Amino acid sequence: MQVLSTRGKMNAIPATQAVLQGIAADGGLFVPETFPEIDLEEMKAYAAHEYDILAARVLQYFFDMDEAALAEITQQAYGTFDDSRVVPIKELSPAEYVMELTHGPTLAFKDMALQVLPRLIRRALDIHKQEENVLILTATSGDTGKAALEGFRDVPRTAIEVFYPADGVATMQKLQMVTQEGGNVAVCGVQGNFDDAQTGVKALFADETLKAFLKKAGYTFSSANSINFGRLIPQVAYYIYAYAKLAADGKIADGEEINFVVPTGNFGNILAGYYAKRMGLPVKKLICASNGNNVLTDFFNKSVYDANRPFHKTMSPSMDILISSNLERLLFEVTGRDDAQVRAWMEALKTSGKYEIPQETQAQLKGTFWADFASEEETAQTIRETFGTHGYLIDPHTAVAKCVEEKYRRETGDDAVCVVVSTANPYKFTQDVLRCISGQDEDDAFRAAQLLAQATGTEIPPQIADLQEKPVLHPDVVGRTELKSAVEVFIERMGE
Ligand SMILES: *Cc1c(COP(=O)(O)O)cnc(C)c1O
């Protein structure tokens, strides 16, 4: 398939090319030329077998690659997961399910896409006979960084440098990154919050002297952030899978409309749900759940996107985001692909941190989306109650979604089946989860993990337990203006 830019200033290119570029040359995001129509019966048949087969089928709609290559990619990608079902679906009640996207090597939903993306990039280099290697630069609010490092580690012809906000990620998240092994990886803290790190990385992509430096060293940029088209599409698959699986198991009727509740930050995950709906999946509402950084809640309910507000550090740091990049793709679709309008809004966002959409656009959005947020207290209470009622331990991000699901049911009276999207293993946020469950404050993250295991009868995942033994390989923290020299040093080291 060909893809277009949301800013409309370039010709369509093949999806495999878009994966190599990351962001479009006009500053926009790549979107599919059309939305292919799925055949639900076919998907139900796949869902009865293996997740990776269904995922390959979904990729095949979008990527100009042969079936066997895609099947190999998804088989390898999801072979790294610790559950043979890949995406287990937990039933809390006949009307409430949790889709667990947490079984990948880094215990966060980012693995769903980031185990696939490096393999797509590797193939795309061959397809387009690109001579330069690919340098991935990524800003992370916590989970992307580790998942990207794990996905790209030692993938030939790629190198990756991850920038994380020095005081914006959880202890376990940080340890997961700074202990990362692999010959082609670098990790660097940035003084500031996630938006500082993201702004810094965006500036690198636009830096012509850095580009020239890299070209000489035999590299071009790409991005592993959720703006990369190759991140978005693997995420479409699990919405289709969840529906097909529930239908195949007789939990829902054929064609019955269901809701998905998504803990949202950069708007990548929930956008994939929107794409699935556009492909014909019977989705009633996509429920956008935010934490105290509730820019999106206000956007959907008041038609103004306004990032000019205090930034809150929460228990769900992967959602501590004020600029949700992927919203641009949704705006492109709901305006009937009006790229001039998208450019105007994105320009306003850049200059004033704010833009307003017309009433009719908002009304249209409200047909598909419903949005609310959970405070820290509500999140804690949801973790406690979910464990108390179901014996089921969830992480703070998932708890935000579960809490907003409950608000949705109360406020709308809608009793349709809801699938809560679970995005991280609770042991990534042990100290917070322990405090929510048992009221204990424990400074040491590993001790907290032991206490949490005792209190809940759950097991510490080996990816977490093993961190204690691993040496810190990436201790550096730089100022906001020093990202460029960090990249240069890394590339020089790669050349040695
Ligand atoms: C990244 C992340 C999110 C937010 O997902 P987006 O695609 O950025 O909206 C939510 N929860 C967890 C655990 C994450 O890692």
For residue 168, what pLDDT is reported? 78
For residue 196, what pLDDT is reported? 86
For residue 198, what pLDDT is reported? 85
For residue 225, what pLDDT is reported? 82
- Mean residue pLDDT of the chain comes to 95
For residue 344, what pLDDT is reported? 98
Separation of alpha carbons 290 and 303, rounded Å: 16
Separation of alpha carbons 173 and 153, rounded Å: 17
- Ligand 1: nearest atom to the Cα of 428: 13
- Ligand 1: nearest atom to the Cα of 110: 15
Among protein residues, the one with the nearest Cα to ligand 1's atom 15 is 143
Distance 171 CA to ligand 1 centre (A): 17
- Ligand 1: nearest atom to the Cα of 141: 1
Mean of the pLDDT values across residues 479-484? 93
The answer to whether the CB of 393 falls within 8 A of the CB of 311 is no
C-alpha distances (whole Å) from 481 to each of 7, 165, 200, 247 are 28, 13, 7, 52
Q: Name the token pair of 272.
A: 């994939």
The answer to whether the CB of 169 falls within 8 A of the CB of 317 is yes
- Ligand 1: nearest atom to the Cα of 321: 8
- Ligand 1: nearest atom to the Cα of 147: 15
Ligand 1 binding pocket mutation candidate from 264, 270, 293 (most atoms within 8 A of CB): 264
DSSP 9: -
For residue 202, what pLDDT is reported? 85
483 within domain boundaries: no
Ligand 1 binding pocket mutation candidate from 319, 422, 430 (most atoms within 8 A of CB): 319
- Ligand 1: nearest atom to the Cα of 226: 7
Over residues 125-144, the pLDDT tens digits come to: 999 999 999 999 998 877 88
For residue 255, what pLDDT is reported? 94
Separation of alpha carbons 426 and 451, rounded Å: 13
456 within domain boundaries: no
Distance 269 CA to ligand 1 centre (A): 7
Distance 24 CA to ligand 1 centre (A): 23
Question: Which three-class secondary structure state does DSSP give residue 225?
Answer: coil
Distance 14 CA to ligand 1 centre (A): 27
Alpha-helical segments (H) within 181-282: 194-205, 208-217, 229-248, 268-278
Residues 6+ away with beta carbon under 8 Å from 244 = 40, 43, 44, 46, 47, 54
Strand order in the sheet with 158-165: 219-222, 133-139, 158-165, 185-190, 477-478
Is the pLDDT at 474 greater than 80, yes or no?
yes
φ/ψ of residue 288, rounded to 5: -95, 110
Of 10 and 7, more confident: 7
Mean of the pLDDT values across residues 196-214? 91
Over residues 19-32, the pLDDT tens digits come to: 998 889 899 999 99
Among protein residues, the one with the nearest Cα to ligand 1's atom 8 is 266
Distance 237 CA to ligand 1 centre (A): 16
Separation of alpha carbons 496 and 493, rounded Å: 5
Mean of the pLDDT values across residues 410-418? 98
- Ligand 1: nearest atom to the Cα of 264: 9
Instruction: Please spell the DSSP secondary structure of 351-414, one letter per residue.
Output: HHSEEE--HHHHHHHHHHEEEEE--HHHHHHHHHHHHHHH-----HHHHHHHHHHHHHHHHH--
Beta bridge partners of 185: 160
Percent of the chain with pLDDT over 90: 88
Of the listed ranges 135-149, 330-344, 454-468, 480-494, the least confidently predicted one is: 135-149
Confidence of residue 47 (pLDDT cuts 50, 70, 90): confident
Provide residues with CB under 6 Å of ligand 1.
Answer: 108-110, 143, 226, 263-269, 318-319, 397, 423-424
Ligand 1 binding pocket mutation candidate from 235, 394, 423 (most atoms within 8 A of CB): 423
Is the pLDDT at 194 greater than 90, yes or no?
no
Distance 360 CA to ligand 1 centre (A): 29
For residue 217, what pLDDT is reported? 95
Distance 271 CA to ligand 1 centre (A): 12
Ligand 1 binding pocket mutation candidate from 112, 138, 143 (most atoms within 8 A of CB): 143
Over residues 212-257, the pLDDT tens digits come to: 999 999 999 888 888 899 999 999 999 999 999 999 999 999 999 9
Is the pLDDT at 173 greater than 90, yes or no?
no
For residue 49, what pLDDT is reported? 77
Q: Which residues are catalytic?
A: 110
CATH of the domain at 315: 3.40.50.1100
Mean of the pLDDT values across residues 259-284? 97
Over residues 444-465, the pLDDT tens digits come to: 999 999 999 999 999 999 999 9
Closest by CA to 411, choosing from 369, 367, 372, 368, is 372
361 within domain boundaries: yes
Mean of the pLDDT values across residues 178-197? 93
H-helix or E-strand containing 55?
helix 51-62
Confidence of residue 95 (pLDDT cuts 50, 70, 90): very high
The answer to whether the CB of 75 falls within 8 A of the CB of 250 is no
Over residues 360-372, the pLDDT tens digits come to: 999 999 999 999 9
Domain that holds residue 302: 86-109+235-431
Distance 496 CA to ligand 1 centre (A): 36
Percent of the chain with pLDDT over 70: 100
The answer to whether the CB of 252 falls within 8 A of the CB of 246 is yes
Confidence of residue 72 (pLDDT cuts 50, 70, 90): very high
Residue type, 419: V
Ligand 1 binding pocket mutation candidate from 174, 261, 266 (most atoms within 8 A of CB): 266
How many separate domains does the chain show?
Answer: 1
For residue 442, what pLDDT is reported? 95
Is the pLDDT at 496 greater than 90, yes or no?
no
Distance 89 CA to ligand 1 centre (A): 18
